[in-house]
Structure 1
Amino acid sequence: MTEPAHQTAPAHQTLPETLGLHMSDSTLMVLAISLFVLTYAMILLEKYVHRTVAALLGACAVMVVGLLTPDQAWGSIDFNTIFLLFGMMNIVNVLSRSGFFDLVARRAMVLTRGEPVRVLWIFSLLTALFSAFLDNVTTVLFMAPVVVTVVTRLGLKPIPYLIAVILASNTGGTATLVGDPPNIIIGSVAGKGFGEFLVNVAPYATIATFVGIAMMHLLMKLRGDLATTGASARLQQILTDNQPIKTDPKLMKQALAIFAVTLVLFMVGHPIGLEAGLIALTTSTFLLLIADLSPVELFEKVEWATLLFFMGLFIVVGALEHVGVFEQVATALTGAIGGDIGLGILLVGFSSAIISGFVDNIPFTISMASVLKELQTTMGARMDPLWWALSLGACLGGNLTLIGASANIVVSDIAAREGHPLGFGQFMRYATPVALLTVVLALGLYYLVFQLTG
């Protein structure tokens, strides 16, 4: 009996194979690294190439040269992150249409009394607190529009305050199991619970948060970002403005109810097998069902450029993972560590911070967590400090560059939509000094405590 055609058809060949080019593993690795560097260079040249176009060009090149097949490229995309972003963007857009952010902005202006320093500290601390118990992407989707509204009405430059929100979201998210994706990965692979993160990571993340805000305060003061340009009479008028804000109470109640349910599910979903992305996609879709809104109009407000940027970058980084770059780096680190846990804290922590600043920390954390799990089989609980070093490095390192963490890109696109584009170099002038200080401080303190306590 003749087998069906689809069973006997030859396997799909890549373009290089069709042309008779058979590349060795080392050649594939060099090619993957080269394409990543070229993609990153295009992202840096944001004046000439939009970062979404750069990421998509990199993703196309990865598939054209045969590093990944289209199916493998599709599989390298972290759809948990994509679904989370898409779902929360829709919920936040509905909240915006209901007038919720205008109400919050007015209350916030009264609370800060129009003082730039109070704006910086209050919004940064609120962002850090929310990011510890929600995921930090959800937090910035909620906070960034409010910050833009407040600071523009006060006559301040929005970009430094938005950067402060980004930094606080990443440092605050470091503190708990649910605050940042690397922690969720570590908790899952290592079998660590919410309480263990509170004990072993939260103290250092908390110190990093306060020091980071203080450093941002100093940078903004030196650059004149804390000087208000509004006249006292104008400021007083803003603070005492009692003109009614146009709202849709029914829509606001629906959106807030769904938002609250989403947050609760974020807290309890992971242990029962519900990932954050699935939760956000499901609850946002239910909101579309009950709200009297056109999905077409709502989807026009989705930051598609952000979603496509992440998808392209996931594919480019997926090629590095596929050819074994991350595995080799992680294996080399493990070999260098040997049995010295103190040295391991420094190597794992600082290398994770540096790498996470320039590539997405999710695939790196997955690779490194796999290596640490193997190490755990021979060393047992003695190597637990390496898990916490990985957490501190991967999460805090996301503040090094504009593409270091999901929250950075999301805020950048919100800023651009509001007419305040955030450049790569502009971000690094503020964020990189803060990131370096907080990484060194958190990992240095953790290393010191380990040496003192054993």
Structure 2
Amino acid sequence: MHETLLHASAALPPTTEHQTLLDLLGIHLSGGSLTALAVALFILTYAMILLEKYVHRTVAALLGACLVMVLGILTPDQAWGSIDFNTIFLLFGMMNIVNVLSRSGFFEVVARRAMVLTKGNPARVLWIFSVLTAVFSAFLDNVTTVLFMAPVVVTVALRLGLKPIPYLIAVILASNTGGTATLVGDPPNIIIGSVAGKGFGEFLVNVGPYAVLASAIGIALMHLLMHWRGEMSSTGSAEKLRAVLADETPIRTDPRLMKQALGVFAVTLFLFIVGHPFGLEAGLVALTTSTFLMLIADMTPVELFEQVEWTTLLFFMGLFIVVGGLEHVGVFETVAASLTNLIGNDMGLGILVVGFASALISGLVDNIPFTISMASVLRELQGTLGEVMNPLWWALSLGACLGGNLTLIGASANIVVADIAAREGHPMGFGQFMRYGTPVALVTVIVALGLFYLVFQATH
């Protein structure tokens, strides 16, 4: 048998190395030149993401990924291996569960009841929809939350004679602060959880309290800013307001589907909390429970998959490949060594450096590619320092998620809502967003990270 295998292997053609475009052109790069090329492609991809007015962010990420493979920084197999499928499965699964909830009429019921609770009062509209957004964003991903919440807010604001843009900005800010609380709430947390191996409960304990405080402060500050700028008054008549609040047009719901979706959602959250110690990663849980929901729900996969945000998933996959190129050429090892030299064993200093740098950079560029990159750096650092550097993961989470409120391009939820606003005929300007987002981001980042630093110093 052994001899037969030897003869069979001898008969196989010799393996050939993967040929790249540069090889075919007769160009052979040194290690340093390959590193410079990987960094250049990363910067180019970032630049294209920032210029989304001209190039869609998903196209930018996929183009960067293609160049990484074409130029030979990664082979296609290596590129495929650099994709974090735990993150992809988590997003895909949660999107499907939310889509079933949406199809059942659940969100329309919530919106109708929320509007009645506001009694037409602008301050109540702000607080109720902001709190709802923050809560939903903590247990769903915030991009999915704003997809169904933003159109509802536009409708409610227009019916009540309110300017929709400030209320839409409030939804963005609440989604980013509320989403900071849990593993599944904000894409940066999903990335951190997967790269660092952190579970749902760990995020809830280590980041959750600061996110709740930031959410409350953010909504209160938004209230003050809107009141100061005179945007808390309705232009509608009292009669029209009464008619809107008295509207009892039946909402089309599917009670059976709603019960199934809510039941599966509850099981999913339970497994998020208890599954990590047993090796059940969040991505596997979400993929499994959403597949079970497809099995029992009266919906075909074709119907359900049409509603999946494929552009978001492909955006992530492209970025993972671009960042994988940097990891392959050793960029993150170099950055991690520099960070180690800067902070040494002073984790208090590390919290301030990582946290505030993450907030600033996440505000200037999208917090997703930044977090993918920084998480790779911290993973290298963890190999040197061990578990003692755990606080740096939570500082990255607070900085990247809350810093996403600094500018209109700081987080994916911001772009999604801006697109919805433009589609509804109410375009949101970059400066218009910063009038609210920047002060809210600055205050919440300083309070949350400052308090996190003080608690760390008091307990160590």
| Band of TM-score, shorter chain | 0.7 to 0.9
User: Quick one: structure 1 residues 272 and 255, their matched pair in 2 at CA, closer, same or farther if it must change by over 3 Å?
Assistant: same
189-198 or 113-122, which deviates more: 189-198
Q: Name the structure 1 match of 2:130.
A: 124
Given residue 266 of structure 2, which amino acid in structure 1 is its aligned partner?
A
Task: Number of aligned residue pairs: give it.
Answer: 451
Counterpart residue number, 1:434 = 440
The gaps in structure 2 that reach 5 residues or longer are: 1-6
CA apart distance, 1:233:
1.8
1:132 Cα deviation from its structure 2 partner: 4.2
Superposition deviation, residue 329 in structure 1 = 2.2
Q: Could you report, residue by residue, the CA deviation over 1:388-431 in whole angstroms, capped at 9, with x for unpaired residues?
A: 43342233234345565555566566667767676767655543
Question: Aligned equivalents of 2:351 and 2:50: distance in 1?
Answer: 31
Aligned partner of 2:118 in structure 1 is 112
Between 15-24 and 356-365, report the one with greater CA deviation.
356-365
CA distance in 2, matches of 1:95, 1:450: 40
| CA contact 2:162–2:234 (8 Å) conserved in 1 | yes
Where do residues 79-158 of structure 1 align in structure 2 (5 Å cutoff)?
79-132=85-138, 136=142, 139-140=145-146, 143-144=149-150, 146-158=152-164
* Residue in 2 that maps onto 1:334: 340
Counterpart AA for 1:41: A
2:232, 2:75 → 1: CA distance? Answer: 51
Equivalence for 1:344: 350
Which of 256, 269, 278 matches 2:284?
A: 278
CA distance in 1, matches of 2:446, 2:312: 30
3-state SS in 1 of match to 2:9: coil
Residue equivalent to 1:370: 379
Residue in 2 that maps onto 1:78: 84
Q: Is the 8 A contact 1:356 1:364 kept in 2?
A: no
Q: What residue identity is the alignment partner of 1:16? A: L
Q: 1:207 aligns with which of 203, 213, 218?
A: 213
> Counterpart of 1:52?
58
Q: Is the 1:108–1:150 contact (alpha carbons within 8 Å) kept by the matching residues of 2?
A: no
Query: CA separation in 1, counterparts of 2:238 and 2:244?
Result: 10
Q: Does the CA-based 8 Å contact 1:46-1:424 persist in structure 2?
A: no
Amino acid at match of 1:102: E
In structure 1, list runs of 5 or more residues that go unmatched.
none
Matched residue SS, 1:104: helix
Amino acid at match of 1:363: I
* Equivalent of 2:23 in 17, 22, 38: 17
Match for residue 3 of structure 2? none
Map 1:379-418 onto structure 2 (within 5 A). Answer: 381=388, 385-401=391-407, 404-405=410-411, 407-408=413-414
CA, structure 1 residues 278+339, in 2 after alignment: closer, same or farther (shift >3 Å)?
A: closer
Q: Deviations over 1:180-230 (max 9, x none)?
A: 565577678878777776665444333322222233334444565544343
Q: Which residue of 2 aligns with 1:324?
A: 330
Which range moved further: 269-278 or 386-395?
Answer: 386-395
Aligned-partner Cα distance in 2 for 1:85–1:150: 28
Shift of 1:110: 0.6
Name the CA shift for 1:351/1:248 in 2 (closer, same or farther; >3 Å).
same
Shift of 1:16: 1.1
Percent identity over the alignment is: 75
What is the TM-score normalised by the length of structure 2? 0.83
C-alpha RMSD of matched pairs (Å):
3.5
Give the equivalent residue in structure 2 for 1:174.
180
* Letter matched to residue 58 of structure 1: G
Deviation at 1:120, TM superposition (A): 2.0
Q: Structure 1 residues 71 and 249, CA, compared in 2 at 3 Å: closer, same or farther?
A: same
TM-score, structure 1 normalization: 0.84
Q: Tell me, yes or no, if the aligned pair for 2:22 and 2:71 is still in contact at 8 Å.
A: yes
3-state SS of the aligned residue for 1:9?
coil
The equivalent of 1:164 in structure 2 is: 170
For the residues of structure 2 that align with 1:426 and 1:166, how far apart are their CA atoms?
13
| Residue in structure 2 matched with residue 259 of structure 1 by the alignment | 265
Shift of 1:109: 0.2
1:239 Cα offset (Å): 0.8
User: Does 2:247 match 1:241?
Assistant: yes
- The answer to whether the Cα contact below 8 Å between 1:92 and 1:142 also exists between their aligned partners in 2 is no
Whether contact under 8 Å (1:127, 1:165) holds in the other structure is yes
Cα distance between partner residues in 2 of 1:159 and 1:74: 41
More divergent stretch after superposition (180-189 vs 72-81): 180-189
1:203–1:298 Cα change, 3 Å = closer
Deviation of 1:123 (Å): 2.4
The question of 1:27 aligning with 2:36 is answered no
- Indicate conservation of the 8 Å contact 2:200/2:273, yes or no: no
Q: Contact 1:186–1:192 (CA<8 Å) still a contact in 2?
A: yes
Which residue matches 1:303? Answer: 309
Alpha carbons of 1:309 and 1:122: their partners in 2 closer, same or farther (altered >3 Å)? same
Q: State the secondary structure of the residue aligned to 1:8.
A: coil
Note the C-alpha offset of 1:37.
Answer: 2.7
- For 1:247, what is the secondary structure of its paired residue? coil
* TM-aligned CA deviation for residue 170 of structure 1: 3.0
